[in-house]
Structure 1
């Protein structure tokens, strides 16, 4: 089923998209797809840093396109243009497929505009002027934390999970998801500094060990995505 968004170049559209991406790494699914391309190409310029979730996603898709491209099909997405709903983009699933023989000649977004060139030059100049050492890589991780049974106090479970603190670990948004038979699991986002935090060690030595294990039966990784800081290091590199 296609996902629809208001004009992402407006304050209202950016706010809605920022809320949508609060607990998601991509527009649909757990990998970059043509849904992300459709949404990305609707931006007339890079989003403001105050929309932190949109800016994180935009930076990630921008880096993927420069490195290797995006090929996954996606579920379909519609984004209103500044002209209104009638100018919305077609479902990604309905977009014509490119001729496999002409892959090398495909330009997904047309020629780079003067504004895009200027923005790219400013980013490059800022990175060169900073003279800072390369920042450690960071990752965004979504965890499933499961309780022992339906009598487990989920508020205390979340409190116990968030009580785990270490350098390079930053807890984010969370929500309770029904599993069945009255049992709910906790889905929680976290950002880690790769050189400082091992997710496996965090789960085995902290989340599934005492005292947190009083509430937590098991903990699984749902999504694990690298955060590219090349263009927005000042915003997202802690």
Structure 2
């Protein structure tokens, strides 16, 4: 709904509705729609003679709703509302159900409804993409033995490149018997890189496994 109305139980609220309906039969479009139901449900009774446009629209919507929702309203007491009070409760309930279940009371959605739905979906997708998290990982890369060329080991590890993976600083750490392991930092985008897949499918397969015997995750922290 392009226009927004509030305080429709007051004269100021009805003035805004009166101005909006000037030259229009309905709140939006050329036929009764969900927008009319929502606004109708917020108007407690038929507007007075000082609001001719709103009164005409109210009578039109009231008649249409009465035919769609026959029966007496329960728990609604609006003196002087007549037919409108009988239709207001089911109209309000119908509007609520439409919000909860996307129920279309009057046929196909208008182009404006579809456009608004597409914009909401695009906004959600954009927000989700922006919120994609990152993680900082500390990894131990172990060679086969003390004869492994650790410089080539590091070059082989860093040769693995993929979207969402950034290699950081590294250092050699003695583990005994002349053997050293390489401890390396890396940053990953969680939605793009799996650490398990990185190790199993890239770091411990040919030709890198000529230098790398195994890899262990020392620390894994969300950024």
Q: Please, what TM-score do these two structures have when normalized by structure 2?
A: 0.42
Greater gyration radius: 2
TM-score, normalised with respect to structure 1: 0.40
